[in-house]
Amino acid sequence: MSCRGDSDDDSCSKRRVAYVYSSVYIETCDTLSKVPNRASMVHSLIEAYGLLEHMSIVKPHLASIEEMAKFHTDSYLEHLHKISQDGDNDDPQSVDYGLGYDCPVVEGIFDYAAAVGGATLTAAQCLLDQKCEVAINWAGGWHHAKKDEASGFCYVNDAVLGILKLREKYERVLYVDVDLHHGDGVEDAFSFTSKVMTVSLHKFSPGFFPGTGDLCDTGLGKGRWYAVNVPLEDGIKDDRYYQIFTSVMQEVRAQFNPEAIVMQLGADTMAGDPMCSFNMTPVGVGKCLQYVLQWQLPTLLLGGGGYNLANTARCWTYLTAAVLGKTLSSEIPDHERDAGSARRSLTRRPLYAAGADTMAGPPCSFNMTPVGWGKVPVALQWQLPAHCCWRSHFLSCPSLPSGMCRLPESRAQSPETSPERSVCVEDLGKFVLFTK
């Protein structure tokens, strides 16, 4: 089964899809200071393309403290609830719970966490009840939060809550993370179990958050070999990413045989994102998504990173169309709610990160556009700055596919960080991930 956002396919158009949405939920998610109004921008573009009529709209519920306590500690939730009521950013205990610069304390933050957690739980419940084959919560995917600590803009780890909900019915759940950043919070949550396998493709370099996700990190105890980390170099493009992704996922499916999937689709891998790292387009991410969807397993799709807000809206709208097997028009249709503001936001020149070498200068010309970009409707395209690999921290390694990175020599030769039976790669098409 194969379908893309730019072509109709009967098998994809017949797929039952649930989309978690309510106006209150979107307004709550818009309050997140790191991505203000992103949720409404994403929803407005999906609505403008008429994609809502092809999905079941499901109203989310607020997660209770008991539901969030399935993963998070009582003390963390109680503190988050206490400071949320008055926005007290001076509480000395907040630092112990990871609340500060990356995760600022603002009034109502507990309600936000409950909204995001509840939305992902609602989506997972739709899969459990067999109301759909695919459930979508683009405002979710906050994969850094730990059980007792906020981290990386994440106050609640809704991905973990969704996995735990699916585990009520499914014996083996696969978590796939294609965000620019390592899904450390999810991996940590399931590092000791063989019932959940985590796969993360991400940037890995000294000083880059969260600093985890090495090739040799494969899980602990009974969970050893059930964490798969694929560190990637800056500048990677669609074709190479897809080659690596499919090589890994083919082996993962054969060895783990999942019964359900949670996939985090952070859009900070897109060219033009202020993170200035990967050179991906929605077409490349869409191909990876379709590769997973062709397994025809219950699948929960989550958002995540994405800090060029208009580009993120374009990406997730394209992916929504890909799930539905719908063709997108080259023009954004007018619609009643915020039509003018949505069009202006989504067609203006993208934001650039001042001072970042890879973002300096004017947008790149058309002949520098990544291969396959012409497949995306004009309305979803944006001019791309030239991205390049501007760090040389990693050694070349002929046994790794081009695009993958490895440890610096000082660590690569350390017996503590390179166990005898670690993950190895013989060639692009064969990954040996589970040698015990």
Q: How confident is the model at residue 199 (pLDDT cuts 50, 70, 90)?
A: very high
For 141-157, what is the mean pLDDT? Answer: 93
Q: Cβ distance 192 to 222 under 8 Å?
A: yes
For 322-332, what is the mean pLDDT? Answer: 88
Distance CA 124, CA 106 (A): 28
- Does the pLDDT at position 297 exceed 80? yes
- Does the pLDDT at position 198 exceed 70? yes
Tens digit of each residue's pLDDT (9 = 90 or more) over 398-407? 344 555 554 4
**Start-end of H helices in 327-384:** 339-347
Residue among 76, 59, 75, 182 at smallest CA distance from 126: 59
Q: How confident is the model at residue 88 (pLDDT cuts 50, 70, 90)?
A: low
Q: Show the tokens assigned to 32.
A: 């997140």
- Does the pLDDT at position 157 exceed 90? yes
Strand ranges (E), 32-133: 56-58
If one compares 118 and 366, the residue with the highest pLDDT of the two is 118
* Residue 395 pLDDT: 28
- H/E segment holding residue 426: strand 424-427
Tens digit of each residue's pLDDT (9 = 90 or more) over 32-84? 988 999 999 999 999 999 999 999 999 999 999 999 999 999 999 999 998 88
* Residue 335 pLDDT: 56
Q: How confident is the model at residue 101 (pLDDT cuts 50, 70, 90)?
A: confident
* Residue 330 pLDDT: 72
357 contact partners, CB below 8 Å, separation of at least 6: 390
To the query of whether residue 144 is one of the catalytic residues in this protein, the response is yes
- Does the pLDDT at position 355 exceed 60? no
* Residue 404 pLDDT: 57
What percentage of the chain carries pLDDT values higher than 70? 73
- Beta pairing partners, 196: 173
If one compares 332 and 129, the residue with the highest pLDDT of the two is 129
Q: How confident is the model at residue 96 (pLDDT cuts 50, 70, 90)?
A: confident
Distance CA 301, CA 260 (A): 11
* Residue 319 pLDDT: 98
* Residue 11 pLDDT: 66
Give the dihedral sign, CA 231/235/236/238: positive
Read off φ and ψ for residue 222, nearest 5 degrees: -65, -20
- Does the pLDDT at position 391 exceed 50? no
From the candidates 61, 79, 144, 182, give the one annotated as an active-site residue: 144
Distance CA 158, CA 301 (A): 12
* Residue 102 pLDDT: 80
Q: How far is CA 149 from the centre of its chain?
A: 20
CA-to-CA dists, residue 208 to 152, 159, 205, angstroms: 12, 22, 6
- H/E segment holding residue 136: strand 134-137
Q: How confident is the model at residue 91 (pLDDT cuts 50, 70, 90)?
A: confident
Q: Cβ distance 78 to 151 under 8 Å?
A: no
Least confident of 208-217, 305-314, 383-392: 383-392
* Residue 364 pLDDT: 29
- For the chain, the average pLDDT equals 80
- Does the pLDDT at position 346 exceed 80? no
- Does the pLDDT at position 418 exceed 90? no
Q: How confident is the model at residue 387 (pLDDT cuts 50, 70, 90)?
A: very low
Q: Show the tokens assigned to 40.
A: 């409404």
Distance CA 85, CA 23 (A): 22
- H/E segment holding residue 224: none
Burial class (CB in 10 A: 0-12, 13-18, 19+), 264: buried
- H/E segment holding residue 197: strand 196-203
Distance CA 48, CA 336 (A): 9
| Domain residue ranges of the chain, discontinuous segments joined by + | 10-348+389-432
For 326-350, what is the mean pLDDT? Answer: 59
Least confident of 106-120, 335-349, 367-381: 367-381
Residue with tokens 């007290």: 88
Q: Cβ distance 368 to 385 under 8 Å?
A: no
Amino acid identity at 49: Y
Q: State the helix-helix crossing angle for 109-128 and 158-166, rounded to 10 degrees.
A: 30
Tens digit of each residue's pLDDT (9 = 90 or more) over 229-269? 999 989 999 999 999 999 999 999 999 999 999 999 999 99
Q: Show the tokens assigned to 323.
A: 């799930």
Amino acid identity at 193: T
Least confident of 4-18, 46-60, 305-319, 346-360: 346-360
Distance CA 26, CA 41 (A): 10
For 383-408, what is the mean pLDDT? Answer: 37
Residue with tokens 């973002």: 359
What is 10-348+389-432's CATH number, 3.30.750.24, 3.40.50.880, 3.60.20.10, 3.40.800.20? 3.40.800.20
148 contact partners, CB below 8 Å, separation of at least 6: 72, 73, 75, 76, 97
